[in-house]
Amino acid sequence: MITLLIWAVIVGIAFAYCWRKGYLLQLTDYVRQTREELRKCTWPTWDELKGSTVVVTISIVLLGGFTVLIDQVFFRLFIFFKL
């Protein structure tokens, strides 16, 4: 019970300090401006999202395959030349 009271006092002091310094006002302004900017965004449709996901997945697979291929080539060259 005393621990809970100590934490409540610490949180209260931190809240009062943030209120006094104006940090809470800055936080509310930040959240308000962020929400306004997000309203201006155009969000993709479901079909656009699926198409982009397919393109990204194919790109990742191709890049991963290329990386494995180049790694194997260098590995074989190092073994061949005993470096």
31-61 in b/e form (b: 16+ CB < 10 A) is eeeeeeeeeeeeeeeeeeeeeeeeeeeeeee
Give the start-to-end residue ranges of the domains of the chain. 1-41, 45-83
Element (H, E) at 33: helix 23-40
pLDDT in tens, 19-76: 888 888 998 999 999 999 999 999 899 999 999 999 999 999 999 999 999 999 999 9
Asked whether the predicted pLDDT for residue 83 surpasses 80, the reply is no
Does this model's pTM top 0.95? My answer is no
